[in-house]
Structures are given as structure tokens and as C-alpha cells.
Chains A and B, each alone.
Chain A
Amino acid sequence: MTQSSSEQLPVVNMTNDDIELLKRLEEENRRIEYDTKSPANSTQTNHTGHPKSPELHHKQLRQDSISSDVSNLTIDADGNLESEWSAWNKIINNWTTYIKKKPQWIKDMIRAGVPIHFRPLLWQCLCKVETSHVKGKYAEYMKMISPCEKVIRRDISRTYPDHEFFKEKHGIGQERLFNVIKAYSLYDREVGYCQGIGFIVGLLLMHMPEEDAFAVLVSMMQDLSMRDMYKPDMFYLGLCIFQFEAMIQEFLPDLYRHFQVENFSTSTYASSWFLTLFTNQFSFNVACRTMDLFLSEGIEIIFRMGIALLEIHQDHLMLLSMDDMLKYFQKDVPIQHETDHESLFQRAFSVQYNSKKMKKLEKEYSVIRKEEQEEQIEVRRLRNENRLLKQRVENLEKESATLANRLIEGQVSNAQYAEESYQLKRENCTLKKQLDEKLKNATFSSSGHNSVQLTSPTELEMLRETVEKLNMENRNLQSMPHVEIAALQEELTLVKMRDAEAQVSMNELRQRIADLNREWQLHDSTCKTLRESNQVNESNDAYDLIAHELLSLKMREAQTDCDNKALSQQIMDLETQKQVVYNQIKRQDDEIQRMRLELDESRVREQELRAQLNETKNQMHDGELRLKEDSMMLRIREAESTQAIGDLRQRIAELEVQNQELITRGQIMDNRDLHDKLLELQDEVMRLRLLPTIHRNHSTSTDPHRHDYEESEDECLISPLSTSVNQRLSSSSIVLSPSSFISPNHRLRQSTPSLFPTLASSQSSATSTG
């Protein structure tokens, strides 16, 4: 505050007395500032108890400060300053009446400059802080936690880092800054916090306590549409830049061209002007004065100042490249206006600001922005679609790869199975051969066995019986279902084989028995001869021997019996083994069949999948084609629209030319009309001059015939004149009439009415004179 006011000093023309006065005022001011801030400092503790007390306190102090200022003034200051201050005093004290009655006067007063001490009060008045209800909510917001707190905190130390008040880390200045920004982020959740707000809040806090600053901020945001500037889509900023660019193009065409050649975009240097209202680059004085004017006149002043700045620096900028221009804007421009800023403001006031045109530009911009957004959405959509399609392609490729793998695996296993089945077939064949052989053997042996039938009829009988039984069984089995027949036949053959084998062994045994019988008979006969020869002595020995032999024979028989049994056992074993093998074969056969079925199935499935793959590929291709087509369409539409814009611009130009032409023609016509009227009037004068003489002649003559003649002549004299007037009028209207139906253009319609009054007046004058 102190620093700022010392900067303010050179602005006022001073005498020693003035300096004295100002010093005193400053003292006073500092006291007031201290007093006003002290309750605000302790808001957090104080507020809960007496929420309104600081406000009231402040109000009272304000009254005091003004009266003390004024009393000081009346004693010391010279008339000019005194009158200015008393005027301000009056304005502030009776704000509501003044702003209603003399808004223009107040505006002019603000343009002329606001004394530094009135500034905080003026700002609050302009923002209707007195009647605002948001001030009361401030304490409430202080207790709440804002989602933006972290982000705000990050920027606090980076806002006015060089300023005394905000320098100290976690000092009073920084805390207040944080509090107000936080309160606003809670008050307006859509805007929340936006980088740039800090500089404005900082400037406000240099002039007033937190709550007032908050109320002023809220009013600025809402009533002066700064919140649109800070909204997440920053639409208003884009619009301002667009409008500002159009203004440059209109007022500073050379500079505009230079910027374009250098590829120097307006937003690079002007964004911060609009976002922070010249607070973050320019000197304190410029910032304060801008704030006065902004609160009084709105965003218009930023445009004015921007154009004024460019006007002032145009000559210099024209010589610079883009880099240097940027540096010039960043460093040199603010420095140059640190001391000499009044000229900047005067220039700004003289800038022609056309709000109608701005409205038109706003409409244009919103259309452009809308189109842009639509395009962006479209592009995003297409990009997304593309991504999805790509993903699908990837997935399908993966699927097809796995399918191919599976196919190969299937083929491999197929081959394996084929091999296996081939092996099994071969085994089967060999087994069948073996079987056949065995069968043959069996039949052979059974036929061999028949020849020996006689030797043991009982056993033969038995065998026959078994054969019969087997045959019966066989028949039974044959009548059984076909599936089992094979197995049963197998079994049958096995049984037959066993039988045959048993018969073979039995045959052997019979043979042996026969041998034994023969031996026995031989032995008997020898025994008889021996008995006959040796009689009793030797017969006993021989008997013993024979008995012995018999015994050994019987032993051998038993042994062979045993052997026989073992053999039959073996046969049984073999039979079971065979059964097992057979079963195995059967199972393998089954398995092979199953495998084949599966293989077929998998082939079918594979074919299906391949068909699906092809289909999806086709779909993909279609999708891509459609995508391309869409993007082409988009491009075409864009090209068309640009062409249409071009056409429209050309038409506007043409119409403007026409308009100009018509205006000039209208002017010429006016001149010509006047000229005509002059001629007419001259004619009239001539006629009027002639008339009295004629009358005189007429009155002197008494001849009625002559009188008639005179009258007719009179008529003749008038009629050519009136016809000539009519002709002229009609000719002029013919000339003019095209304009009335050429003018669909808005501007023409505005300009053409100016032609009609002259025509009407000339007509009326003509009739009156006629």
C-alpha cells in the first residue's frame, strides 16, 4: 500500500503543500488500513461470535476516513484538488442516487482518474458490495474444505512473488490470498480455481480486507462475466482473442499482416491481458487504473487498451521477428508504461469500440467454435472406432492363429491315429491268421482223433456229447444278436481249440494205454510161457517183477495225467490271454472310430470358424471403407463450407461496393435534384415575372376573345413547366427505384431511406410551387 502510493505521487502535479497533505493523508490511510484489516485478520475467531461486526466497523471507518480526508482538504489543498476530492466524497456517500442519475458523469470521473484513497470504496460501490449477500457466506466458506486447495496452494507463492505483501512464505498476504481464492472455488464450483485469478485477487487484497475482496471478486465474475473467461472450456477467452484479432485487422491492418507473416498468434501475448486484466505484467498503477475502468466499463476497456498498446508500439513491432516481438511484449512493453501510463489510457479512450460489431463477431465465433467442437467430436469418435476396429482385427488375428495351431495339432494327431489304426489292423490280421491256423490244426486234430475213436468209446461218447453241446451252444450263440456273435464265435473256436488240444492229449494218453495194454498182453503171454516153463518158483519172481512194472506204469500214468492237467491249465491261460487281447483290439477299434468322428467334427468346426473369420474380415474391410468414406465426406464438407464462406465474403464485398456506389450515386442525384430545382425555380421566377405583365396587358384590353386566348396561352405556359418538372421527377425516381429493390442487404436498407426524404421534399416543393 505504501509502496503503491509513493508510486502514485508523480501523477499529481505537486507543490510542497500538496506533498505535505498527501503525506498526512497517507498516514491517515495507513491507520485506516490497519484498523480495517485488524478485524479481518481475526475473522476466523471473531466471525463465529459477531458475524456482522467487522463489516459495520469497516463501514464506520469508511465514513471517518472520508470526512477526515475532506476536512484536511478544505484546510490545505488548492481549489482544484479540493473540488475533485469533495466531488468524489459526494459520489461515494450518495452512490446509489448518483449512479442512477448521472451514470455517464461517474464514468467520465473514473476515466479522469480516481484518487487513490477512494479506490477501495469506489470498487466496492461499483460492485455493490454493500447490498451483496455473499459477504456473509465468507466465514462459512472458511470452515469448508475446497477440492482445489492443493492446486491453489501450489500457485500462492507464485503470485506476485516480488511484492512486499505476498513475499513472505505463509505470511499474512499469502494466507489471505489463499483464503479468498479458496472461498471463491467453493462459491463457484464450476469455475473452481483457474490460474490467473490469483493476480486479480492479489490486487483486490492490496486495497481491502478479505471479505470485501471476495465480494468484489464475486461481482466481477458474475456481473462482468469474468467467470466465463475462467470456465473449464475457456470459451470467453477464445472469443475475446477472436474479437481482438478482428479489431487489429480493422484498425492496424499493417501490423496484422506483419503478425501473420511472422506466424505470431494473438493468444500468445493477449491471453494474459484478458485473463488477468493487465495485473500480472504491468505496473501497479496501470493495474489499478485498469481495474477502476474495468469495474466501471467492463471488458471493453481491455480491448481498448490492447489496441492502444499495439498502436503505440506498432512502429517498433513492425521491425521485429516473432521471437523478438514476444520478448518485447514480455519485457519492454510493461517497462515502458511503468512511468508513462496516462498516454496509454488516453489513447485507449479514443479507440473506437463498436459493440454491435463485437456482437456480430461473437455470433460468428460461436458458430466457428461449434463447428470445431463438432469436428473434434467426430474425429474423436472416428479415432475411437478405428481403435476398436484395430482391436477387433488383432483379436481375430489371434483367434485365427490359435485356430491354425489347433488345425495343425489335429492333423498331427490324425496322422498318429491313422498309424496306430494301421498297426492295429496289422496285428489283427496276424492274429486272425494265427487263429485260422489254430482252427485248421484243431479240425485236423479232431479228424485225426476220429480214427482213434474205437479205442475208447466211452470217452468218445463224452466228446461227442461235448461237441454236440458246443454245437448247441454255437447255434444258440448264432441266434443271439449279431454284435455278440463275433465274440461268441471267437469263444467257440477257442473252446473247440481247447477241446481239440484236450483230445490230442487224450489221444496220446490212449496211445500210451494201448501200448501199455499191448505190453501187458506181451508180458502176460511171456509170463504164461514162463509159468509153464518155470512153474511155481519162477512164477513168483516174475509176478513180483510184473507187479513192480505195473506199479511203475501206474505211476507213469499218474504222471502223464498230471501233465495233462497242467497242459489243460496252460490252455486255459492262453485262452484268457487271447480274450484279453481280443478285448483290447475291440477297444482300440472303437477308439479309432471315435477319433475319426472327432476328426470329422473338428474339420467341420474349423471350416465354420474359417468362414466366420472371412466374414469378420469382410466386415472389417467394410468398416474401414466406411471410415474412409466418412472422413472424405468430412473433408469435402469442410472444403465446401470454406468455399461457401469465401463466396459469402465475396458477396459481402460486392454488396459493399454496390452500396458505396449507390450512396455516391444518391449523393450525385441529390446534387442533380438541387440543380434541377434551381432551374425550375428560375423558370418559375421567370414565369411569375412574365405573369404580371400579361395580367396588366389583359386588364387593359377589353376584348373577351383576346382574354380567352390569353388564358389558354397561360395554360400553355404553365403546362410545359409542370410537365418538365414531372418528367424530371419521374426520371429521378426511375434512377432511384432500382436501389429500392436491389437492397436486400441490411446496410443498403439503412442507407437508402436517406435518399427518399430528398425525393419527397423535392416533390412537395414542386407541388407547392406548382
Chain B
Amino acid sequence: MANQGPYNYSYIFKYIIIGDMGVGKSCLLHQFTEKKFMADCPHTIGVEFGTRIIEVNGQKIKLQIWDTAGQERFRAVTRSYYRGAAGALMVYDITRRATYNHLSGWLTDARSLTNPNTVIFLIGNKGDLDGQREVTYDEAKRFADENDLLFLETSAKTGDHVEDAFIETARKIYQNIQDGSLDLNAAESGVQPKPSANPRSANGTVGLDGTGQSGDSKCQC
């Protein structure tokens, strides 16, 4: 983040970080934006925020990252931040099985509150504590594959794979833009083409909710 020139990037991607208490959401954000590990990071009240400009396929992209409080009751507050997220980083702690078991709840929240194109990235954090591991890589990988999630194990402490997780997500979003599956004009795409003063066009949401039912074979005698 050498020079925060205001308009030297071509996209803004909105991210959210979700997951149970104490899995290291804020630390991941801090590691990514400041490249430092904050051992004693005060717990998040409500939401916190960070930005960083990255480069994907030669395009400069500004990531706008919302870090949410992990406690269940804060979901009432944090829910409104899911809307219009282009990427969701869903974090669990590899040394605490409970945080992994809660993923399905987080996933349904993420799926129901974001648009269908939102890229969801599963992150198993605290990879540096391999000795205390309670969730194997293979198991989580299987879960990720079953649910169409990208997956990496990271360590906010050592910085391992932290960049990769954030950048892979951006790459996937960028790819979605390139192949046209992500509609930039949709109000809730979570991607703004250019940081200009034009008011957001409220064209409505991406119309993908009507699930067409076809192909019921007819056979008569």
C-alpha cells in the first residue's frame, strides 16, 4: 500500500470475513493489510474494516474488506454487511473442531445473504499450530469440494498462504467478470467498476432465483 493514489485501480471488490469467535479473522485481515501479526488483537465489536490494492492479471484491484464479530448474537448487526459482497472468506480454526462444525451454519448464512456469484473461500487458520490440529486437511478439503468452495490452510501468525487466499478469491471474481457470469451492473454484485462519483445504479438484483423445473419424463401406456 505504498501510494494510495485515489483512482489508480480499476475495480473495487467487497469482501467479508466470517467465522466463529477467536478463529483469527481480525488477525488475517491485519496480516493481509499490514503484513504483521498482531498477537493481542482486541476482539471485534460489530464490524471492522481494511483495504489493500492488489494486482490480478495486470489489473489493479482495491479490496474492501469487512471483518465481522464472531459471536452468534452479533449476526443481527453483521448480516447487513453480507449484502453486496463479491467474496466471502469463511474462517475456522484447525485446532478447534467446534469452529469447523459450525461452518454449515455460516455457509447457509453466506449463501442466503449474498448473491449466487459470490466467491466463498474456506480458510483453515492457525496452520502454524499443526501439533494441536483437530481437523485434517483432507476432511476440510472434501467439505470444500462438496460445497464448491475454494480452500486453503493459512497461518495469520507466520503469514503462510494469507496472501494466496485473498488473491485467489480476487482472481476467481475477476474470472467471473471476464467470462460474463458476474454482472457488474447488478446492484449487489459487490464489484464496482470504477471508483467514481456516479450513483449506484439500482437495477435490481441478479435474477437467478427462479429455479426452472423441466425434464420430467412423460410416459404413457
Binding site for B on A (CB under 8 A): 151, 154-155, 157-162, 167, 194-196, 198, 230-234, 237-238, 261, 263, 265, 267-268, 271-272, 275-276, 280, 321, 323, 326-327, 330, 393, 397, 400-401, 404, 407, 603, 606-607
Whether B60 is near chain A, meaning CB under 8 Å from some CB there, is no
Smallest beta-carbon distance A38→chain B, Å: 28
B76 touches A158 (CB 8 A): no
| CB atoms of B80 and A194 under 8 A apart | no
> Do A263 and B80 touch (CB < 8 A)?
no
Establish whether residues B43 and A606, one from each chain, have CB atoms under 8 Å apart when the complex forms. no
* Central interface residue in B46, B200, B213, by most chain A CB within 10 Å: B46
Would B42 and A159 count as touching, CB distance under 8 A?
A: yes
A404 touches B217 (CB 8 A): yes
A379: nearest chain-B partner, CB-CB: B112
Instruction: Name B96-137 residues within 8 Å CB distance of A.
Output: none
A267 to B46, CA, bound (A): 8
Asked whether, in the complex, the Cβ of B76 is within 8 Å of the Cβ of A196, the reply is no
B21 touches A154 (CB 8 A): yes
Complex contact B80–A265 (CB within 8 A): yes
Contacts of B2 in A (CB 8 A): none
Chain B 43-56 per-residue mask, 1 if CB under 8 angstroms from chain A, else 0: 11111110100000
Do residues A195 and B80 form an inter-chain contact, with CB atoms below 8 A? no
Residues in B whose Cβ lies below 8 Å from that of A268? 46-47, 49
Q: Flag if A275 contacts B49 (CB, 8 Å).
A: no
Q: Determine which of B44, B46, B49, B76 lies in contact with A327 in the assembled complex, contact meaning CB atoms within 8 Å.
A: B49
Q: How many A-B residue pairs have CB under 8 A?
A: 86
Contact between B40 and A162 (Cβ–Cβ < 8 Å)?
A: yes
The 5 closest A-B CB pairs, nearest first, are: A161-B40, A271-B46, A272-B45, A154-B22, A158-B43
* Cβ distance B96 to chain A, nearest Cβ, rounded Å: 10
Residues B77 and A155 in contact, CB atoms below 8 Å apart: no
Judging by beta carbons under 8 Å apart, are B73 and A330 in contact? no
With known contacts A154-B21, A195-B69, A195-B71, A233–B76 Cβ distance under 8 A:
yes
Closest-CB distance, A287 to chain B (whole angstroms): 14
Whether the Cβ atoms of B43 and A234 lie closer than 8 Å is no
Q: Min CB distance, A329 to chain B, in Å? A: 9
Interfacial residues, chain B to chain A (CB-CB below 8 A)? 21-22, 40-49, 51, 64, 69-74, 76-77, 80, 195, 199-200, 213, 216-217, 219, 221
Given contacts A158-B42, A232-B72, A607-B221, 11 further A-B pairs with CB under 8 A are A158-B43, A195-B45, A195-B71, A232-B73, A234-B74, A267-B77, A268-B47, A275-B46, A276-B45, A330-B49, A407-B221
Q: A151-B21, A393-B213, A404-B219 are in contact. Are A195 and B43 (CB under 8 A)?
A: yes
Query: Given that A154-B21, A154-B22 are known contacts, is A272 also in contact with B46, CB under 8 Å in the complex?
Result: yes
Q: Are A238 and B46 in contact (CB under 8 A)?
A: no
Instruction: Give the shortest distance, in Å, between B47 (CB) and chain A (any CB).
Output: 6
Q: Is the interface of B mostly helix, strand, loop or mixed?
A: loop
- B42 near A160 with CB under 8 A, answer yes
Instruction: List chain B residues, Cβ under 8 A from A196.
Output: 45
Contact A326 B49 (CB under 8 A): yes
Expressed in whole angstroms, the Cα–Cα distance for A100 and B218 within the complex equals 85
Chain B residues contacting A327 (CB-CB under 8 Å) are 49
Residue in contact with A159 in the complex, picked from B22, B43, B48, B73, CB distance below 8 Å:
B43
User: How far is A330 from B195 in the complex, measured between Cα atoms in Å?
Assistant: 22
**CA–CA, A265 and B80, complex, Å:** 10
- Chain A residues near B199 (CB-CB < 8 A): 261
Query: Nearest-CB distance from A429 to chain B (Å)?
Result: 32
29 contacts between A and B (CB under 8 A): A154-B22, A158-B40, A161-B40, A195-B43, A195-B44, A195-B45, A195-B69, A195-B70, A198-B43, A231-B73, A233-B73, A234-B73, A234-B76, A237-B77, A261-B199, A267-B47, A268-B46, A268-B47, A271-B77, A272-B45, A272-B46, A280-B45, A321-B195, A323-B49, A323-B64, A327-B49, A404-B217, A603-B221, A606-B221
Chain A residues, CB < 8 A from B45: 195-196, 271-272, 275-276, 280
Bound: A88/B216 CA distance, A: 84
Determine the chain A residues whose CB is within 8 A of the CB of B40 once the complex forms: 157-158, 161-162, 167
Cβ–Cβ contact A267 & B72, under 8 A:
no
A138–B171 alpha-carbon span in the complex (Å): 55
Q: Please state if A323 and B51 are interface contacts (CB–CB under 8 Å).
A: yes
Residues of B within 8 A of A280 (CB): 42, 45
Q: Which residue of A lies closest to B62 (CB)?
A: A323
Least Cβ–Cβ distance between B217 and chain A, in angstroms: 7
A195 to B69, CA, bound (A): 8
Contact residues in A for B195 (Cβ distance below 8 Å):
321
Could you tell me the distance between the alpha carbons of A162 and B96 in the complex, rounded to whole angstroms? 26
Residues of A with C-beta under 8 A to B43: 155, 158-159, 195, 198
CA distance A11 to B77 in the complex (A): 37
Q: Is the CB of B217 within 8 A of A234?
A: no
What is the CA–CA distance of A155 and B22 in the complex, to the nearest angstrom? 8
Could you tell me the distance between the alpha carbons of A606 and B47 in the complex, rounded to whole angstroms?
60
Q: Which residues of A contact B42 (CB under 8 A)?
A: 158-161, 280
CA distance A160 to B43 in the complex (A): 9
Contact A194 B221 (CB under 8 A): no
C-alpha spacing A494/B72, complex, angstroms: 93
Query: Separation in Å of the B7 CB from the closest CB of chain A?
Result: 11
Chain B residues positioned under 8 Å from A401 (CB to CB) = 217
Most chain B beta carbons < 10 A, residue from A159, A161, A261, A393:
A161
Bound: A606/B40 CA distance, A: 70
What chain A residues lie within 8 Å of B80 (beta carbons)?
Answer: 265, 267
Interfacial chain A residues near B69, Cβ < 8 Å: 195
Q: Which residues does chain B contribute within 8 Å of A158, judged by CB atoms?
A: 22, 40-43
Contacts of B44 in A (CB 8 A): 195
